[in-house]
Structure 1
Amino acid sequence: MCTQLLVRMSCIVLAVVASFVMVSQPAFAHQTAVSTLNVEVRPDKREVDMLLAISPDDVTDHLKLDPNGDGWVDQSELPYLEPAIGSYFEEHLQVTNNGQVCQPTHQDFVDMGRRMASLLFRKTVQCDDALGEVTLTNEVMLASKNGYTHYGQIQIGKDIHTTVFNRDTSSYTVQVGADGQAASEQSFWDVFVQYIWQGVLHIVLGIDHVLFVLCLLLAARRFRPLLVVVTSFTLAHSITLALSALEVLTLPPTVVEPLIALSIAWVAVELLLEAKKPADASKDDEEVGPPLHLYALTFAFGLLHGFGFSYVLRDEVGLPTDALVPALLSFNVGVELGQIAIVAAAFPLVAWARGREWGSKAIKVVAALVLLVSVYWFVTRLM
């Protein structure tokens, strides 16, 4: 056991060295092409509050901001770029009430006290008259070469509305009634469906979680062990997702995010070690499963990933104050549905690959690539 532990740590250390080499080189510009816009309409104050969460790489690439001309933007450069970025956001995020432009009363970047994957920009506007036909316009990044998509969530009292801002639909209009509620109220089922979509979206777009699930699938080999492993992961991340989203128990993201990356690296090393073991001819292939300790590790790592899910739900998506439980439950259901979709799509392909002569070599290559990527994330998240 000690020998295996040393081997795992040695592999991770080697990958760290390779990752430092990768980090030292300028990164190629890329765009995630997706962000979130959370809006709270406050009829009693005639206010509309907007919180935009967007990748800093996307914005700086689009605006061609590169202070030192090295081909990429470092986190340390962002404070110097915020005035230009903030001015761009302010111009491309607008609210009108009955056709009249509402004037900003507050706008700045939200300092979460931690390094985030997203820039958080808040803009609050106040309208002259009582809120009626409120139109939100979001044109941030819509003129980019490859287009852009913003997933919007609008809260008006107890009602939650969702929409998509893109080149075809850059605005969204809601009618606020005399009672301060939306003219068409949303049911429990509407909120449930909307947060399910947010959960699916996060697990599918969260490449680190996708790679972890993929590694579990490769390690389990067969369906029954895979079911146990995935169930263990599900139970664990459901616990910490609820506790952290409700702020009952929280851990700083500066600790959790690097450990999530390390958990992926660890499982990738498990795959590499398992692939080196000679096949046991006395066992039927159906009996082969993951090493027993992987079940416990999966549960422990699931707790870490649950904290990761909660940061997105709490800080970027947001929880409606009057529907905490259904929103939290449906977000978790969405995460599970996204996870099931990933497994359902990948499992037949993996099973087919295992039956080929080159199958074991392909799994080694995938595990090695996942190891390098995850340790690269570990290094960058510590910086």
Structure 2
Amino acid sequence: MNRHIPIISTLLSLLLVAFIFSPKPAEAHSYSAGYTKITMDSKKTQLLFTLDTLSIIELIPGIDANKNFVLEKSEIKKNQHHLNELIEEGLTLDKGNKEQTPKITAMKLVKKENKEYLSTYMTFPAFSPGETVEFNDGFYYNDTGTNYVDLITASIYGESSEGVLQGKDRTWTFLVTEVQQEQGQTTQPDATKVQPKSAAKPAEKATSTSWFSFFKLGMLHILTGYDHLLFLLALLLRKQTFKQYAAIVTSFTIAHSISLSLAVLGWVTLPSRFVEAAIAFSICYVALENIFRKEIRFRWSLTFLFGLIHGLGFAAVLKEMAIPKSHLAVALLNFNLGIEAVQLSIVLLLLPLLSYLYKLRHSGKIVIYGSYAIVALGAIWLFERIFL
């Protein structure tokens, strides 16, 4: 009886990993993303905030009167007051330490790919040189169960800046200077503290892309990308040589880096429904290989092909930001580095566990049963992404 304990415990561990990687409840990427666009000139400041409608329904209980998980124009009109309150309390633009009063000019439903969003148009007073400006996002701030991010693009007197607000870093700060107004230059936005007003001009060679915020965004994206993680587990689950493992991880990294870059640059575009369904199919295919193939050979080539598809899935969040090409290289590099840091950490964690598993008497059966569990999860996602 005792001889079965290691088998049962290992199998339960695999199922626990599969459960952790499973979507909540039916989404493969369980975070909510807001998109903020700020346009500032000498006359006024405009702010466009876009949030997916499912988050709106979650944030305002009762707005979805017919419980169909679709935000309709009639529901927006009926709950206009609550929507205005939600936006005005969740987003603030401060001059120094004084909150500025916004004017909401319009709210529109927009559809991108197969997802619906609510875009809110707001205007604020103009900001003058020498003034410190703070943008604060308080959505989901106290909700530890939601990995919310706000992706910011700004045009300050014609010059572009980007930022990412996530976790507890919810303040994006910059100083409007005479240099900005006259020559179109901008200082480095800081996500955590106010720049001193004594800074009369931006530092030389300052970049307007916060590299670490994109690194963290990449880490969050892969950590909440349960389908990508499950695909990685399926690739490694079958016993292989260290050389084969290294080839698999390398080919996956190269492939998704290529397609991620091409997609964000706009050179490759595929419907998101097709990409997400193909990712689910890749999980099923690799897990079925684990079950039915007697020998695993040249898995790196298969991984490269599927990696191209996974890279298109990674690209979705950056594509929405519409980052200027002059800043895109830094954002892409650090976003990808964040993904790779997490991916490599997971591989280094899994390999010793798998090495122990292969020493067990019934390791073959554990791999087979674990692969069946992975096929089941992948099939559920595949069905949802094709038919729902």
Which protein, 1 or 2, shows the higher relative CO under an 8 Å CA cutoff with sep ≥ 6?
1
Of residues 260, 269, 274, the one that matches 1:250 is 269
What's the CA shift for 1:246? 0.6
Of residues 355, 361, 373, the one that matches 1:357 is 361
3-state secondary structure, aligned to 2:148? strand
3-state secondary structure, aligned to 1:135? strand
What's the CA shift for 1:377? 1.0
- 1:223 partnered with 2:223: no
What's the CA shift for 1:372? 1.2
3-state secondary structure, aligned to 2:297? coil
Of residues 139, 164, 167, the one that matches 2:166 is 164
Matched with 1:290 is 296
* 1:46-125 correspondence to structure 2 within 5 Å: 46-53=44-51, 56=54, 59-61=56-58, 63-65=60-62, 67=65, 73-74=68-69, 77-79=70-72, 83=76, 84=79, 86-87=83-84, 89-98=86-95, 99=98, 100-112=100-112, 114-116=113-115, 120-125=117-122
Matched with 2:384 is 380
What letter matches 1:301 in structure 2?
Answer: F
What letter matches 1:160 in structure 2?
Answer: E
* 1:1-383 correspondence to structure 2 within 5 Å: 34-44=31-41, 46-53=44-51, 56=54, 59-61=56-58, 63-65=60-62, 67=65, 73-74=68-69, 77-79=70-72, 83=76, 84=79, 86-87=83-84, 89-98=86-95, 99=98, 100-112=100-112, 114-116=113-115, 120-130=117-127, 132-142=131-141, 148-156=146-154, 157-164=159-166, 166=168, 172-178=172-178, 179=180, 181-182=186-187, 187-188=206-207, 191-219=210-238, 221-274=240-293, 277=294, 290-292=296-298, 294-315=299-320, 317-382=321-386, 383=388
Distance 1:361 1:148, change over 3 A: same
3-state secondary structure, aligned to 1:213? helix
Unaligned regions of 5+ residues in structure 1, if any?
A: 1-26, 278-288
So what's the TM-score if we normalise by structure 1? 0.73
3-state secondary structure, aligned to 1:41? strand
Moved more, 340-349 or 171-180: 171-180
The Cα RMSD (Å) is 3.4
What letter matches 1:313 in structure 2?
Answer: L
Distance 1:142 1:326, change over 3 A: closer
Give the total of aligned pairs: 330
Cα distance in 1 for residues equivalent to 2:358 and 2:60: 46
- How many percent of aligned residue pairs carry the same amino acid? 26
Cα distance in 2 for residues equivalent to 1:360 and 1:341: 25
Distance 1:53 1:79, change over 3 A: same
Distance 1:152 1:271, change over 3 A: same
Distance 1:191 1:337, change over 3 A: same
Cα distance in 2 for residues equivalent to 1:272 and 1:200: 31
Moved more, 234-243 or 176-185: 176-185
Distance 1:106 1:47, change over 3 A: farther
Moved more, 201-210 or 333-342: 333-342
What's the CA shift for 1:319? 2.5
Looking at secondary structure, tell me which structure has more helix per residue: 1
3-state secondary structure, aligned to 2:269? coil
1:94–1:101 contact (8 Å) kept in structure 2? no
Cα distance in 2 for residues equivalent to 1:252 and 1:50: 25
Cα distance in 2 for residues equivalent to 1:192 and 1:135: 19
Distance 1:153 1:67, change over 3 A: closer
3-state secondary structure, aligned to 1:101? coil
What's the CA shift for 1:321? 4.4
Cα distance in 2 for residues equivalent to 1:62 and 1:40: 21
So what's the TM-score if we normalise by structure 2? 0.73
CA deviation digits over 1:53-103, x for unaligned, max 9?
A: 5582x554554446456xxx55xx343786258556434433334222122
Unaligned regions of 5+ residues in structure 2, if any?
A: 1-23, 189-194, 196-201
